[in-house]
Chains A and B, each alone.
Chain A
Amino acid sequence: MHGIAFDIAHLLAGSLVLISFLELYQDRLYALLNVFALHALVLAASVAWQAFIQDAPHLYVTALIALVFKAIVIPTALHRIIVRLGIHREIEKVVGVGPAMLAGIGLVALSMVVMLRVTQEADPLAREDLAFALSVVLLGLLMMVTRRNAVSQVVGFMSLENGLVLAATGAKGMPLVVEISVAFSILIAFIVIGIFLFRIRERFDTVDVQVLDRFRGERR
């Protein structure tokens, strides 16, 4: 099992975790979008590789969706939104880079410990894939809670979903319904987000979520 197929799958999944870390310390929105595009690109490569070694042609569709939709369409669209809203300045963070990175390392360690321990009977490829996938999911979550800016929260959410796709493709023979659903949900989610961003733009002059917080119904 520990042949070249395993090594490449391992390499790609590992890179995905690494790129999640890269996302974590970007402090400019454009740079963040570029890193996210890279994230989606590596995901596409990883899914395609899984399709190849599992001999599961339907996974190529998932890979294609990741490539076209997440690596190209969404970053371009978000780029435009940023330009239109004029918010290409720095991202406000709740915590600094240092603590965020440390928390990220802790989360990766946690997911390794948890997943490797509970999946001792599964085959090694699926095992490590799952551990990496959980890391990516948790790093996405971390990014969502450490950013105040709506666009970067959305990017955090999408990299979280990348982790889910990684997990779903790593689980050998998982029915197509889930892959389609994931891709589909991203599409819908993006439409929703798009509408929201534009509506937010109509009403406020910022997409900083902290500003939204001031309009809480009861704080008056």
Chain B
Amino acid sequence: MSFNPLAGVLIVPAAAAALLAVLPGYRTTARLNVVATTLTLLFALSLFFVRPAPSAYLLVDDLNGTFIVLTTFVGFTTSIFSASYIGHELDIGRLTPPFVRFYHAMYQVLMFAMNLALIANNIGLMWVAVELATLTTVLMVGIYRSHEALEAAWKYFILGSVGIALALFGTILVYMAARPVVGEGLDAMVWSVLVKRAGAFDPALLNVAFVFLLLGYGTKVGLAPLHAWLPDAHAEGPTPISAVLSGLLLNVALYALLRFKMLLAVNPGALAPGPLMVTLGLVSLVFAAFMLYRRRDIKRLFAYSSIEHMGIITFAFGMGGALANFAGLFHMTMHSLTKSAIFFAVGHVAQVKGTQRIADMGGLTETHPVLGWGLVLGVVAIAGLPPLGIFMSEFLVVSSTFAREPALAIILVFGILVGLAGLFLRLNSIAFGEPRGPSAPAQASYVPMFTHLALVLAAGIYMPPALVAWFQNVAGLLG
């Protein structure tokens, strides 16, 4: 027990949150925020080498190891972006020093909650962590205290709470199903115990539980028609939070869902969770793709694009099987990296233009070439054009579906194409054409954005065999 990376993944953000809540001064705290996320990332990486034995509360396996590394990595790059973004907000007086202090503390609490949700072995603990993550993001979304921000936060709070309440009911039902088999007490909520014994659970109870869990955690994933909170929350909060919401928090909720899906898969009598997830995924994809056309706010545009991609990922996991799971995992990783890179660009764009309205910005590649082309590259990536990583993952999802369910694959391709056209339509008016809006040079940190994009590009061109083997291994776990 001399070195336990699990403790590091939790204690570092918790301690940093406490420290950041009391320390004054923007520069120190922003730097400390970066240091804390770096440390957390290092601890997360060490999980590959030192793997603690599962306890009744915490568990690390290959599945959540992947999620933790992704989460801490994006958390780390976002903290670098956040430092320059928040500095600008402070300069223009949109945020005051007490709020910045609050923001940094909340950022670390959010990292803590997401890590806890990912490594929780106890389904009750996992629920608590997701709830904590929801509450922190609610507070961050409302931080600007404008009409829109308050409305967005309120809506997010109400819808998120209802979702989380339904998920708790589902969790209780899982316990009810487990109790006759596993026995009373703590063991009946420990995931690693449950998954071994789930074959003997009462299937009817497990089915109802999964429906509640799907609706509950599905709300947090942002699946249509439960997505109403998502565009508002993305558009009105600080942009680093939009990046973390899209890139990470949606994944965490999906991860919770996947854990329960694995539970159902063990039980022969339970309903197949696949078709439900496939349906919700396709509905989200097609709905969000059409919604892209009418967007006037740049952050809302990419929020809908997140719904679209979460739809694709949920669809892939719903299809199941080694190849589709592989594609789903790969797509999720690529989407997290690309979408957060886009939000890094969008954050700076909105700052230099002083607005989020698409109509008020234009010709970005002329006025701000680096930022503009960065955004173009990001959108090309997210739209799924070769040779970037998302093309590869979408191609895998589509081709694996064509082999099994051609009819579904047609809907899938249709949704993706509609989304692609919608994104390019909007991108055209933002990045090209007559320059509009202020053209003062941007004080931006480009490193996080281009790091993400370079990774996505690299993954699209060449995947190291070790990484492929790793993803295949995890996809096999998902069943």
Q: Hey, which bits of chain A sit against chain B, CB under 8 A?
A: 114-115, 117-122, 126, 130, 133-134, 137, 141, 144, 150, 153, 157, 160-161, 164, 167-168, 171-175, 177-178, 181-182, 184-185, 188-189, 192-193, 195-196, 199-200, 202-204, 209, 212-213, 215-218
Contact A189 B135 (CB under 8 A): yes
Extra pairs beyond A177-B189, A192-B135 (10, CB < 8 Å): A114-B208, A130-B176, A161-B165, A164-B172, A182-B168, A200-B154, A203-B145, A215-B147, A216-B232, A217-B300
Contact A199 B150 (CB under 8 A): yes
Contact A192 B138 (CB under 8 A): yes
Determine which of B204, B297, B300 lies in contact with A117 in the assembled complex, contact meaning CB atoms within 8 Å: B204
Q: How far is the CB of A78 from chain B (nearest CB, A)?
A: 16
Docked Cα-Cα span, A174 to B157, in Å, equals: 27
Known contacts A173-B185, A192-B138, A215-B151; is A167 also within 8 Å of B172 by CB? yes
- Among B138, B147, B295: residue with most chain A CB under 10 A: B147
Q: How far is the CB of A177 from chain B (nearest CB, A)?
A: 5
Contact A173 B184 (CB under 8 A): yes
Determine which of A118, A134, A178, A209 lies in contact with B154 in the assembled complex, contact meaning CB atoms within 8 Å: A209
- Among A121, A175, A209: residue with most chain B CB under 10 A: A175
Contact A192 B176 (CB under 8 A): no
Contact B168 A118 (CB under 8 A): no
B23 contacts partner chain A, Cβ-Cβ < 8 Å: no
Determine which of A172, A196, A217 lies in contact with B148 in the assembled complex, contact meaning CB atoms within 8 Å: A217
B176: nearest residue on chain A (CB-CB)? A171
B127 contacts partner chain A, Cβ-Cβ < 8 Å: yes
Q: How far is the CB of A5 from chain B (nearest CB, A)?
A: 18
Q: How far is the CB of A37 from chain B (nearest CB, A)?
A: 20
Docked Cα-Cα span, A144 to B171, in Å, equals: 22
Q: Which residues of B contact A193 (CB under 8 A)?
A: 157
Determine which of B127, B154, B169 lies in contact with A167 in the assembled complex, contact meaning CB atoms within 8 Å: B169
Q: Which residues of B contact A117 (CB under 8 A)?
A: 204
Docked Cα-Cα span, A217 to B295, in Å, equals: 10
B308 contacts partner chain A, Cβ-Cβ < 8 Å: no
Q: Which residues of B contact A150 (CB under 8 A)?
A: 154
Q: Which residues of B contact A185 (CB under 8 A)?
A: 128, 131
Nearest 4 CB-CB pairings of A with B: A173-B184, A215-B147, A118-B204, A212-B151
B152: nearest residue on chain A (CB-CB)? A217
Contact A196 B165 (CB under 8 A): no
Contact A121 B148 (CB under 8 A): no
- Among A115, A118, A150: residue with most chain B CB under 10 A: A118
Q: Which residues of A contact B142 (CB under 8 A)?
A: 196, 199
Contact B162 A215 (CB under 8 A): no
Looking at chain B's contact residues, the main secondary structure is: helix
Within 8 A of A (CB), among B160-194: 161-162, 165-166, 168-169, 171-173, 175-176, 179-180, 184-186, 188-189
Known contacts A144-B162, A161-B165, A218-B297; is A168 also within 8 Å of B135 by CB? no
Contact B151 A216 (CB under 8 A): yes
Docked Cα-Cα span, A130 to B204, in Å, equals: 14
Known contacts A118-B205, A177-B122, A189-B161; is A134 also within 8 Å of B151 by CB? no
Contact A196 B205 (CB under 8 A): no
Q: Hey, which bits of chain B sit against chain A, CB under 8 A?
A: 122, 124-125, 127-128, 131-132, 135, 138-139, 142, 145-148, 150-151, 153-154, 157-158, 161-162, 165-166, 168-169, 171-173, 175-176, 179-180, 184-186, 188-189, 202, 204-205, 207-208, 232, 235-236, 295-297, 300, 356
Contact B168 A164 (CB under 8 A): yes
Q: Which residues of B contact A177 (CB under 8 A)?
A: 122, 124-125, 128, 189
- Among B142, B176, B356: residue with most chain A CB under 10 A: B176
Determine which of A137, A153, A217 lies in contact with B169 in the assembled complex, contact meaning CB atoms within 8 Å: A137
Q: How far is the CB of B143 from chain A (nearest CB, A)?
A: 11
Q: Please name 23 pairs of A and B residues whose Cβ atoms are closer than 8 Å in the assembled complex, sorted by A.
A: A118-B205, A118-B207, A119-B205, A120-B204, A122-B180, A137-B166, A137-B169, A157-B161, A160-B162, A161-B165, A164-B165, A174-B189, A175-B189, A178-B171, A182-B168, A189-B161, A192-B138, A199-B145, A203-B150, A217-B236, A217-B297, A217-B356, A218-B296
Docked Cα-Cα span, A126 to B151, in Å, equals: 40
Q: How far is the CB of A183 from chain B (nearest CB, A)?
A: 11
Contact B176 A157 (CB under 8 A): no
Q: How far is the CB of A209 from chain B (nearest CB, A)?
A: 7
Contact A178 B124 (CB under 8 A): yes
Q: Which residues of B contact A182 (CB under 8 A)?
A: 168
Known contacts A167-B172, A175-B124, A175-B189; is A121 also within 8 Å of B296 by CB? no
Contact B162 A141 (CB under 8 A): yes
Q: Which residues of B contact A215 (CB under 8 A)?
A: 147-148, 151
Docked Cα-Cα span, A144 to B204, in Å, equals: 29
Q: Which residues of B contact A114 (CB under 8 A)?
A: 208
Q: Which residues of B contact A202 (CB under 8 A)?
A: 145
Known contacts A126-B176, A130-B176, A217-B297; is A200 also within 8 Å of B127 by CB? no
- Among B179, B207, B232: residue with most chain A CB under 10 A: B179
Q: Which residues of B contact A115 (CB under 8 A)?
A: 208
Contact B169 A164 (CB under 8 A): yes
Q: Which residues of A contact B124 (CB under 8 A)?
A: 175, 177-178, 181
Known contacts A121-B202, A157-B161, A216-B151; is A178 also within 8 Å of B185 by CB? no
Q: How far is the CB of B157 from chain A (nearest CB, A)?
A: 7
Q: Which residues of A contact B158 (CB under 8 A)?
A: 144, 153, 157
Q: Which residues of A contact B232 (CB under 8 A)?
A: 216-217
Contact B165 A203 (CB under 8 A): no
B122: nearest residue on chain A (CB-CB)? A177
Q: Which residues of A contact B132 (CB under 8 A)?
A: 188
Q: Which residues of B contact A181 (CB under 8 A)?
A: 124, 127-128, 131
A181: nearest residue on chain B (CB-CB)? B128
A178: nearest residue on chain B (CB-CB)? B124
Contact B150 A217 (CB under 8 A): no
Docked Cα-Cα span, A117 to B207, in Å, equals: 12
Contact B135 A118 (CB under 8 A): no
Q: How far is the CB of B467 from chain A (nearest CB, A)?
A: 36
Docked Cα-Cα span, A191 to B212, in Å, equals: 27
Q: How far is the CB of B208 from chain A (nearest CB, A)?
A: 5
